[in-house]
């Protein structure tokens, strides 16, 4: 796989962030901020992986870090948002539309929970709006969905 200079730099930065988080975890496994950073680094690294299986594995590893952070602090909105991003990424890797839809819906619920915890966060609000558009476009080929009642996040 050929990396651009920008991708290579991102790889180095995110790999260093992952290693730092792993070392910090050894010192303090109950640090929800560190676990959230670790999950975020893994999500960034998954974008540079080759093949859907490798990407999926890394995304699932990121989800486990976000879940661990939420076990420590259930209202950690950064971890909720990160898990929403992970669910969105997983949806794009799944060829079955029904399974992909479930991941998009899970992402929307996680973005909504993050927004509930941090109502003034414009990134969370935008993520919630965008996942609905992406879901409809990805699954139905258009921005409109025939069964709109199933999508409470539709705006």
Give the number of C-alpha atoms closer than 13 A to the C-alpha of residue 150, restricted to the C-beta side: 11
Average pLDDT, the chain: 86
pLDDT (mean) for 39-62: 88
Same fold for the pair 1-73 and 75-155:
yes
Q: How confident is the model at residue 95 (pLDDT cuts 50, 70, 90)?
A: confident
75-155 carries CATH number 3.40.50.1820 = no
User: What pLDDT does residue 6 have?
Assistant: 81
User: What pLDDT does residue 87 have?
Assistant: 95
Domain edges within the chain: 1-73, 75-155
Backbone dihedral region for residue 31 (phi beyond 0: left; psi -120 to 50: alpha; all else: beta): beta
| CA–centroid distance for 110 within its chain | 9
- Written as six digits, the tokens of 69 are 């952070």
CATH topology of domain 1-73: 1.25.40
pLDDT exceeds cutoff 80 at 49: no
pLDDT exceeds cutoff 90 at 7: no
pLDDT exceeds cutoff 60 at 115: yes
User: What pLDDT does residue 143 have?
Assistant: 44
- Written as six digits, the tokens of 31 are 């640090």
Residue 94's nearest CA partner among 138, 58, 136, 62 is 138
User: What pLDDT does residue 110 have?
Assistant: 96
């Amino acid at each position: 796989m050929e990396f651009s200079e920008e991708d290579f730099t991102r790889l180095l930065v995110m790999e260093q962030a992952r290693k730092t988080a792993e070392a910090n975890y050894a010192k303090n496994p109950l640090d929800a901020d560190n676990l959230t950073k670790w999950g975020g680094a893994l999500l960034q690294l998954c974008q540079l992986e080759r093949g859907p299986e490798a990407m999926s594995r890394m995304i699932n590893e990121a989800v486990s870090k976000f879940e661990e952070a939420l076990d420590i602090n259930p209202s950690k909105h950064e971890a909720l948002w990160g898990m929403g991003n992970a669910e969105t990424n997983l949806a794009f890797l799944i060829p079955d539309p029904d399974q992909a839809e479930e991941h998009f819906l899970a992402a929307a619920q996680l973005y909504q929970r993050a927004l509930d915890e941090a109502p003034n966060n414009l990134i969370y609000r935008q993520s919630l709006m965008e996942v609905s558009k992406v879901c409809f476009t990805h699954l139905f080929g258009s921005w409109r969905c025939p069964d709109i009642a199933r999508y409470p996040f539709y705006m």
